[in-house]
Amino acid sequence: MGELTRIIPVWRSFALLVALLGLLTIQGCGGGLLFSYQGAQLRKGHEIPIAESAPHAQTSQTRDVTVTYSCAVENDQFRVAGRVCFASHLTWNFVGLRYFNLSIVVADANNTIIANHSLVSAGCFDNICDVTFDSNLKLAQASSASSFAFIYTGEAGVGGDGGRASACNFWDCPVYR
């Protein structure tokens, strides 16, 4: 009985330590860039100017994707629609798209992010095909919005296992704190 009373405080201390580390991990991830990019900075050279004119088609290209889009601003509404085409190193070397997430961040004249919105989430184990999106976003600080950028993350894989055997993670996030 004496040995058991010495072990219980050790287990309690261990459980408290695990709970504390878990809480700090969640707070560290959640308080940073995980849930909101608001207040972070958009890297110079990645910003796409917001023009107050009729919708116009443009292209944004990275190593992994080409986003062909049109956008328009009217009052506090920002409409963006387009198509994501995946680069040949993904379509030729991998069979399926395990997941793909595309978001947009809106920045002010100082490249400080004032809003972020998810545009599309997709995945298909059988093939890698173009992804389309069409979003009408309400901007709380529309008058201070001067540029935006696309952020994406994805994973392509081979075989019928959903990409677990051989996978390629790809992303672009031109945001920093």
The enclosing domain of 146 has a CATH number of 2.60.40
- Is position 36 within any domain? no
Residues 29-80: pLDDT tens digits? 333 445 678 899 999 999 999 876 667 789 999 999 999 999 888 788 888 9
On whether both 140 and 87 belong to a single domain, the answer is yes
Q: Are residues 77 and 11 in the same domain?
A: no
What does pTM read for this prediction?
0.76
Q: Which residue, chain included where needed, has tokens 């184990």?
A: 125
Question: Does pLDDT of 27 surpass 60?
Answer: no
Confidence at residue 144, expressed as pLDDT on a 0 to 100 scale: 84
Q: Are residues 69 and 119 in the same domain?
A: yes
Find the domain containing 163 and state its range.
41-176
Q: Is pLDDT above 60 for 26?
A: no
Identify the pLDDT of residue 105: 94
List C-alpha distances in Å: 101 to 7, 65, 110, 113, 172.
47, 12, 26, 19, 11
Neighbours of 10 (CB within 10 A): 9
Q: State the pairing for strand pair 77-86/65-74.
A: antiparallel
Is 23 in the same domain as 97?
Answer: no
The pLDDT tens digits for 110-164 are 999 999 999 999 887 677 889 999 999 888 777 788 999 999 999 998 765 544 5
Residue 58 vs residues 38, 40, 66, 72, 174: alpha-carbon distances, Å: 25, 25, 10, 12, 19
CA distance 167 to 73: 38
